Amino acid sequence: MALIGTQLDLSGDARQRAEGYDGLIGELRQRLGWSRAGGGDRMIARHHERGKILVRDRIDLLIDPGSAFLELSPLAGWGLYDGKLASAGIVTGVGTVRGTACMIIANDATVKGGSFHRETVKKHIRAQDIAAQNRLPCLYLVDCGGANLNQMEEVFYDENHFGGTFHRQCRMSAQGIPQLAAVFGECTAGGAYIPALCDEFIMVEGQASIHLGGPQIVRAAISEVVDRHALGGAALHSRQSGVSDHIVSDEYAAIGRLRDMVASLAYAQPFAPGRLASVPPRFDTGDIPAIVGTDLSRPFDQREVIARLVDGSDFHEFRPEWGDTVVCGTARLEGFALGIIANNGVLFSEACLKATHFIELCDQRGIPILFLQNTTGFMVGRDAELGGISKHSAKLVYAMSNTRVPRLTVVTGSSYGAGNYGMSGRGFRPHFMFMWPNARLGGMNPDVGSSVLMDLRRASISRGEASGDELADYERRLRQMFAEKSDPYFCTARVFDDGIIDPRDTRRVLGICLSVVNLRPEIRGPSPVYRM
């Protein structure tokens, strides 16, 4: 392949951009610290007093020593519920257990007793969907107080509410995707179904309990007074009711038994036969903040980013002389073959057609596609419409939606409007999607959006109904609203992505993602995408 060169000069402006980006990284690290602090010192101390291990420590013990754990959406819940729902009360991610790549879904009982809020359900479902898409065994580390009853309309009724987690669990088990659990604490009401629907599960004696109705419900419903262990403790369910498959003495034993259960699956995971030895990029990934900076109005060349992500900085570019506001080409990342589609500005008709054709080629060859988003959207205006932008942008959306190969998305800058859609935004179910701290995501560029709404506001009022000061204040509030709702932390708090990552970690994160998506069955049959 062709080696990508670099035009980066690390003096002057680039140095200032890197220094500015350091502030964003510091903010990200600080907020990740909030997510890892769980329910705070008091709740952590109570957890330890009960002889229990913290949720991320359980995961560290579960995965193979020295292996990576790709945590998903660690900042879910940020800025919501007065800051008291760290990581939405649940930790999810991909890890390797006894040599098998697994999806791990673990309740954090230090956060609201492990109960399910709106964002908890959304994060749980997202993890299950990734597992189903890639046929990953699901390991549930259960310490769950069930649904948050104060949010019934947010967690109970709909198809993607709490019941949707059980539906997915049943469907995966029926498809032969293993569902295993270890129960570490109280699992009441809906929380009881997580282990009960598993193929096999473990309970910790003296700590774990499972009951459809807890002691308070039992007393209210049938006037029976009983404690939770007599009602549904590990001894009762393992030795009398037969609900549980295993009983162990402590959490360490439970984690060890769960590792043994994964080993006993003999679960075959096909691996990409075409993977080559990984070669580091020729240019330093640490340069990316200097390339990108914090000012989204300043363009940057995505080829500079690609040169710092792909193996050997080798990139075979597709149609480099045409449709130049999108960069398409093939490379390898951590040894895996990869197609890349990256924005270098607004999407014109030529760029749409070029990307559409390239998606077809990747689909034919069975190569996953990485979308690097940095665009304000598709081109508008009479000339653009005369050139067929409405149809050509639809062709891109069609091809992207129907390709059979895995899609990975990273928002490296702006991602606005239908440009987000055409570049494999969350609504089109990419296998993984991450954002950088400088990124912005929204239905419209804040400047354009506020101008549009201001024009509508002016048109809707009669002369004299609003003063100049009132209109200026309205415009200020509009801009603030657009800026707030396109902020990456606003998006990640609501699980609109799989997490905000340091640009310098992007190659490592994508490498883990590629190792997961390459576990899929081999693509066979004619392509549903056609040359348009």
For residues 151-170, average pLDDT: 90
Q: How far is CA 378 from the centre of its chain?
A: 25
Whole-model pTM: value is 0.92
Structure tokens at 440: 């912005």
CA distance 529 to 196: 41
**pLDDT, position 452:** 65
**pLDDT, position 113:** 86
**pLDDT, position 5:** 80
**pLDDT, position 93:** 98
Spatial CA neighbour of 452 closest among 442, 441, 462: 442
CA distance 294 to 437: 9
**pLDDT, position 531:** 52
| Per-residue model confidence as pLDDT tens digits over 221-253 | 888 888 888 888 999 999 999 999 999 999 999
Query: Which pLDDT band, with edges at 50, 70 and 90, does 156 fall under?
Result: confident
Mean of pLDDT over the chain:
91
Q: Which residues of 269-280 are buried (b: 16+ CB within 10 A; e: fewer)?
A: beebeeeeeeee
| Per-residue model confidence as pLDDT tens digits over 257-300 | 999 999 999 888 877 777 899 999 999 999 999 999 999 989 99
**pLDDT, position 413:** 96
Q: Return the higher-pLDDT residue of 113 and 427.
A: 427
Structure tokens at 54: 């913290």
H or E segment and range at residue 163: helix 162-174
Between 136-145, 207-216, 352-361, 363-372, the lowest mean confidence (pLDDT) is in 207-216
Q: Is the pLDDT of residue 139 over 90?
A: yes
**pLDDT, position 530:** 56
| Per-residue model confidence as pLDDT tens digits over 173-191 | 999 999 999 999 988 878 8
**pLDDT, position 197:** 94
**pLDDT, position 146:** 81
**pLDDT, position 214:** 77
Q: Is the pLDDT of residue 466 over 70?
A: no
